[in-house]
Amino acid sequence: MPSLKAAVRRRRIMAVTVKLAVLGVLVLMLGFAGFVWLLPGQEVALDRNADGIVVLTGGTSRVTDALELLAAGRGKRLLITGVNPGTTTADIAHQTVDYGRLLNCCVDLDYSALNTLGNAVQARRWAIEHDFKSLIVVTSAYHMPRALAELAHQLPDAALIPFPVVSDRLRIEPWWSNGETTRLVLSEYLKYLFAKLRMRFDTVAEGGAGRRVAEARGL
């Protein structure tokens, strides 16, 4: 028969475990609340230019917005990273009218990136190749925190200027009112946490005490 001391010890261990689990859940919930609170509900108005523009694929509106920024002289060149194999500048031109000249002279396509980490790695190579010290980052609003984190890890000394693309759904209704949007935002939050954890053990691109991540209002 277990001794009274052993029983008390097990009870204490169980109590501490439960408390730690509850604390962990509370931290995750508070972190998620902060994550969604900071997601912009409207697109930002840029107040500065950059050397280059990087757009992470995932929707035609992202590429269109990035091309508009390039046409406005916000950057010298544009990198579209994560392009589907077989897609050409001509294909993009069919979907984004009036940008044929820019697509031919000032746009680079990356076909190798399969995820956000890959996007950041390819953006790093592109920025180093062109000696770019500042980048405007174009991606969806819910994806921007993770994209900035990955890019800042790969380019610790570059200035990153976010240009979040806000979907019509997020403009019209809050994220919690639609099950699909809720799952999307929650999934992105968990991916963001995983990425931040992974970066703590990934020293490939670390360094550069002078990291400068310029964040627009709302992020």
pLDDT at residue 71, rounded to an integer? 93
Mind listing the pLDDT tens digit for each residue in 79-130?
999 999 988 888 888 877 778 888 889 999 999 999 999 999 999 999 999 9
Other C-beta atoms lying within 10 Å of the C-beta of residue 120: 26
8 A C-beta contact, residue 73 and residue 49: yes
Kindly indicate the confidence band of residue 2, based on its pLDDT and cuts at 50, 70 and 90: low
Mind listing the pLDDT tens digit for each residue in 128-177?
999 999 999 999 888 999 999 999 999 999 999 999 988 655 554 555 55
Q: What is the pTM of this model?
A: 0.78
Q: How far is residue 44 from each of residues 50, 53, 75, 96, 211, measured CA to CA in Å?
A: 15, 15, 16, 21, 23
Question: Which residues does residue 79 pair with via DSSP β-bridges, in sequence order?
Answer: 54, 108
Q: Is the pLDDT of residue 218 over 60?
A: no
Mind listing the pLDDT tens digit for each residue in 24-41?
666 666 666 667 766 766
Mind listing the pLDDT tens digit for each residue in 43-85?
777 889 999 999 998 766 889 999 999 999 999 999 999 999 9
The rounded mean pLDDT for the chain is 80
